[in-house]
Structure 1
C-alpha cells in the first residue's frame, strides 16, 4: 500500500481514494452497541409509513460532483433539465413551487433551484420533473430528524434540535442517536432507496480542499444497503461492509441497486475526542505498519 500523510489525512495513492488513515472506510461495528438495531428497524419502518418524506439527489451532474467516467450515463439530471426550460416550461414548473415566490420567465437563467440552492424544490416540482422529464431521483425516501441546513453546516449543532415530529414518531431512534460518541450533533437523516433504484456515484467535496474527513456515522439497522466507494482512476468499486461505518465522503461513493427497499441512518457532527483518538490509534498504527 502506497501511503502519504498530508494535513492530517492519510492518502492511499495505490487505491485512488483519500480514505481515512490509509483505509477506504472504517467499520464501526466493534466500537458501538448495536444490539437494538432490530428494534430500531421496527420503529423506523412503522414511522416512515406515517410521516411525510421527500426526495433527495437528482442533480449531481449539474452540481459537478460525479466522476467524469459516469457523467454521460442515461439518468436525467434535474439541474440540466431546468437550465434547458423555455419560458413556457419555466412558468409551468414554478407554478408548482412556493406560491409566495415571484419569478420572471425572461430571467429564468438567474435563478437556482434544488439542494444547496436559493430555491429548494417542492415535492410537487420533484414529482413533475420525474413524471414529465424522466428525472431520476435516487433517494425517494428522505427524512430529516434534525435538519442540518446547508451541507457545510451539517457538523455544527448551533441552534439545531430534533424536530417535534421526530420526537413523536422516532423516540427509540433518537435515544440511540443521542448515545452515539458525538460531542455535538448537527444533522440526522434517514435515506432510503426503493427496489431496483441505485444511488448515483458522487462525492461531497473536493479532496484537494479537505484538511480532515468530516465526522459522521452511518448505521444500517437492517443491513444490506450495498454502499460502495468508487476509484475513478482504476474504475474499481470497494464495497463498504458493516452495519455501522465511517468513510471519507469526499471520495466518490454510490449504492448498488437491490431487489427491495434499503435505508440508512446518517448522523453528522463532531466526534468525542476520546472516540476519535481510539479510532486513530487502532487504524493509523496499522496503516503505518503496512506502509
Structure 2
C-alpha cells in the first residue's frame, strides 16, 4: 500500500499534501484497536482542578494560533461543503484563483512576514479568510511548541544553541496542568497544545498525515469538561466509531480519518505528543513503538 506525499510549490510557497485514498481503518498497534480509552493509565482524580486552571489560562492567553490540516476531506464531506483543506486548494490553485489574485496576495504575504514560519501560518490564514478553505479548529494554543513532523521529539535546536524543548513563555498559569503532564506514562514528551472548537461547529474529518509506518504516540484530554463525540472514520464503510461514553482521555492512530461531531458550546482538547514508556507500548500492542506498520496487516 502506498499513500504518496505530494509537494506543492509556487513562488516562495511550499507545502505537502496528499490525496484521498480508500484505505479503511488501521487502528492502533497489532490489535487494530480503533480508539482507546486511556483513563486506566492516568490520574483522573484532579480533573476538576485542571479543568478550572485551563479555563482560566485560556481566558487570559494572548498568543492564540490558527491550526492547519494538510491533505483532503473525504469526498462526501468535500461535496457537502464545496471546499477543502488549504493544502488541496493550493495544489489546485488554478481552479480557485483563475486570475492570479490570490497568488499575488500570497507572494505579498511572504515578502512582508517577519520569518518563513510566520509566512506559512499567515498564508493558511489568508486561505481561510479569502478562499474559504476548511478551518479545522477555532484556535490552538501551545504549552510546548514543536514542529509537526517532529512533534513526538523532546529536543529542539533553539536560537541560543540549546536543544531542550521548553514550555512556552506566558504559560506559567498552567502550573498544575504542566505538573500533571510530567506524570503521564511517556518516557519523553514533545509537543503539547490545545485544540478548541466553536459552539455547534465540528472538527472536520481528516488524517494527520499519510498512512505509513509511524510512532506518533499521544493522549488527548478533556478533563472535567467531560466526554466529547470524538470518532475515527472508516471511509470505505462510511462508519464512525466513537470514543467510549464517559471517557475523558484517549489515544488513536492519527493516520486514520478522525474528527469530532459538533457540540453546543465551546470545547477544548489538550493533546500531549511523545513516546510512551515500554510498559504502555507493550500493553497497547505497539511493536517496536509502531502505532501502525505494514507487518500488522498479518495479525
Q: TM-score range by the shorter chain?
A: 0.7 to 0.9
1:138 to 133, 136, 139: 136
Whole-Å Cα distance in 2 between the matches of residues 33 and 267 of structure 1? 15
Q: CA deviation at 1:121?
A: 1.9
Higher relative contact order structure (alpha carbons within 8 Å, sequence separation ≥ 6): 2
Q: CA deviation at 1:78?
A: 3.2
Q: Deviations over 1:65-84 (max 9, x none)?
A: 43344343315343455523
Q: CA deviation at 1:163?
A: 1.1
Taking structure 1 as reference, are residues 94 and 226 closer, same or farther at Cα in structure 2, changes over 3 Å only? Answer: farther
Residue 161 in structure 1 maps to residue 134 in structure 2: no
Segments of 5+ residues of structure 2 without an aligned counterpart are: 1-22, 157-164, 287-298
Residue 122 in structure 1 maps to residue 122 in structure 2: yes
Taking structure 1 as reference, are residues 200 and 243 closer, same or farther at Cα in structure 2, changes over 3 Å only? Answer: same
Taking structure 1 as reference, are residues 256 and 197 closer, same or farther at Cα in structure 2, changes over 3 Å only? Answer: same
Whole-Å Cα distance in 1 between the matches of residues 139 and 50 of structure 2? 17
The alignment of Structure 1 onto Structure 2 pairs a total of residues equal to 245
**Equivalent residue, structure 1, for 2:47:** 37
Q: CA deviation at 1:181?
A: 0.9
Q: Deviations over 1:116-151 (max 9, x none)?
A: x8942239x72x5444443331311201111111x2
**Equivalent residue, structure 1, for 2:183:** 179
The TM-score with structure 1 as length reference comes to 0.74
Taking structure 1 as reference, are residues 98 and 30 closer, same or farther at Cα in structure 2, changes over 3 Å only? Answer: farther
**Equivalent residue, structure 2, for 1:3:** none
Residue 152 in structure 1 maps to residue 152 in structure 2: no
Whole-Å Cα distance in 2 between the matches of residues 275 and 100 of structure 1? 43
Describe the SS at the equivalent of 1:26: strand
Taking structure 1 as reference, are residues 97 and 35 closer, same or farther at Cα in structure 2, changes over 3 Å only? Answer: farther
Segments of 5+ residues of structure 1 without an aligned counterpart are: 1-14, 103-112, 282-290
1:255 to 252, 255, 260: 260
- Tell me which stretches of 4 or more aligned residues in structure 1 moved more than 6 Å: none
Whole-Å Cα distance in 2 between the matches of residues 153 and 120 of structure 1? 17
- Alignment RMSD: 2.9
Describe the SS at the equivalent of 2:271: strand
5 Å-filtered alignment, 1:240-279, equals: 240-241=243-244, 242-279=247-284
Q: CA deviation at 1:177?
A: 0.7
**Equivalent residue, structure 1, for 2:74:** 67
Query: Does the 8 A contact of 1:65 with 1:204 survive in 2?
Result: no
Taking structure 1 as reference, are residues 64 and 138 closer, same or farther at Cα in structure 2, changes over 3 Å only? Answer: closer
